[in-house]
Structure 1
Amino acid sequence: MPLWWQTAGDPVLADLVERGLKANPSLVCDSLSLQARELQADAAARKLGSRIQRLFNASAKNADEAASQARAYRHADRRAHVAADIAAAYFEVRRLQETFGLRAKMLEQFNDNAEIAGFRREAGLAPGLDSGLAGSLVSVTQSDLDASREKLEAAKRELARLTGMELEGLAATLGDDGKVPDIAANVAGTTRLSAAHRADLLALENSLIADMTRQKVTQEDLDAVLSGDTETAPADSPAALAIAKYREAQRDAFAEMTRDREAVAAAAVRQAKLENSGRGARMTAKDARLAYRSGTGDFSTVYVAEAAALAVEEARIRARADLAAASIRLWTAQGRGWSEADLAAPAPGVGVLPEVTVCE
């Protein structure tokens, strides 16, 4: 299964995710811990498992090996969520960049409107109210633009923190004219969900195996629970408790994936509606401006039409960002934020910077 950032179609996002995964202090410490444990233990084949009953084999897999595998899966799961956090911060920066650019462009338009309204007032062709309305729209938009600039800088600082980059370097990578990428998970016709590649469940499986191995649970005990034999394996037996814990986690995982899939579908519908609304709002504002300049319309219509067009455009940008973020959450929940390579401890000195990272 490919990593989502390798197939999302945004090379800047892919680069930032890779940078962030390498620079994250918690992940660095995880890597160092896995490396240290690997050096202390005998080399063992690392294979993915899918179900407890298939993984559980006390004669072939001892508790230490299972616990080690659980740690590796937890590390992979943390990497996946760090990648998702970076994506969310990136989409916020792109949203604010695009919104800032839109407001700056509209401010020019509103200044032009105000100038025309002033000329018409001086010529006795329009009341002073027109100039007042035009000036109000300019003032409000300028204030919003200033607020956008502050929010954008704060969002960049957060993204720089997550990626371990200096602000100057991040700014160069992002550029000035940012746009929210068109990223959307395909949920059309999707009915079947699979939790087979979720690192958190795989970590839990191995952790439970380690516990059951230490508690001397036998394969017969486990089979009894799976078959519903409460006489051989009562509800409070180690095997029954382990299976119950796993099944609860599995239900939660499916519920999360279902919510995320529904969120993607809802975001896609919302974006499509706003795309249509945006085209209509832009056309209405254009017609209102032409009517006012030709003397057949009033400025109050221009004011309402352009304010509405700006609001719809900003909502459209936000909807695209929401769809992208929802898609990443779904892909992460489906296990597309990690690969089998994440399970292996790095070679000594590879991919970690212990000299600049303090680990507890």
Structure 2
Amino acid sequence: MGAWYDAGLTWVHFPKGLGGLEAPRSLQPVVNRIMREAGGPEPRTVNTIGYGIVAGTIRRYAGPEFAARLLRPLATGEEKWCQLFSEPGAGSDLAGLATRAVRDGDDWIIDGQKVWTSLAHLSRWAVLLARTDPDAPKHKGLTYFIVDMTTPGIEVRPLRQLTGRAQFNEVFLDGVRIPDPQRFGGIGEGWIVANSTLGDERTSLGDRVPARGSGAIADAIQLWHAHPDRHTPVLREKLTRLWIRAETHRLTSDRTRVAAATQATAGPGSAITKLVGSELTQHIYEFCVDLLGPTGTLIDTYSPDAPDDESGPTAIQRKYLRSRATTLEGGTSEIQRNVIGERVLKLPQELRADKGIPWREIPR
């Protein structure tokens, strides 16, 4: 992966020297396919959050030297990343977060709690959104930082998922000291920076659309052929409709990717592919469980040690359980519909009773 980065192929649209070639972004799938055909890994699987969600923010907000320091070990997987955004009282309403950052000379002191932090237990670095001005309206008083997860005062506690695994966590920050150079953007401008990260996250999830006939729909088709005794006209029609939706989703994603090739940041169109893809994945695995009948209610293990490749006799059941998260991670379906309505269709914004009110005065 280091040679891949040095050749400018990790993110082809990035500047030269930072893992890119200043080429059109639409060429990245071609480059990734070459990597797969050569027997290499899919780049985003090496450092899932770092590659698709954080790297763009580093490129836009870190100086060239600092960006070079962060991006190469990110691309090689030597330093993994996580995202310290969501809190117990601030999920979909992210701007309502309560984690505080107080200036102390050239440093910031961070206190608070984050939750649903995927891969925090494996990460060296994190992006962090914290409140620096409780007297400002909630969207205005936020500041964006990156934090070394080995810093004293950080405690990571794994959370067990529905699948039995523990891949995300709650994170406690108690007097964590962050140097000011690890701030991205201006003080109080964290919401702007965070939105660029969230846009990249939606795009990353949308870019995971598999090739024609592969991915979740391939699981459904393979299962269909493996159980001819369970074929019914109703299930046949369901599978046909799911295949059509999967193909429509793939083509829409391709169109969105081409349209975004000339944009500096991810556009709101990525919310469409994220919304459709996450709900489609759930519907496909619901079909699979229906096809399996009573067998679909069984699972061979409920353990964090279950294989990551989703293999084994009850892989479909585990994928079904895992799919419940797709409409939550990367922004809920409700949030995606808001983004589409307001930024794509230009509909009026939702009424907000807390608009313009200082954060500390908002009931919680």
- TM-score category (smaller protein): under 0.3
Per the normalisation by structure 2, the TM-score is: 0.27
Per the normalisation by structure 1, the TM-score is: 0.27
* Structure ranking higher in strand proportion: 2
Bigger relative contact order, structure 1 or 2, given CA contacts below 8 A and separation 6+?
1
Q: Which has the larger radius of gyration?
A: 1
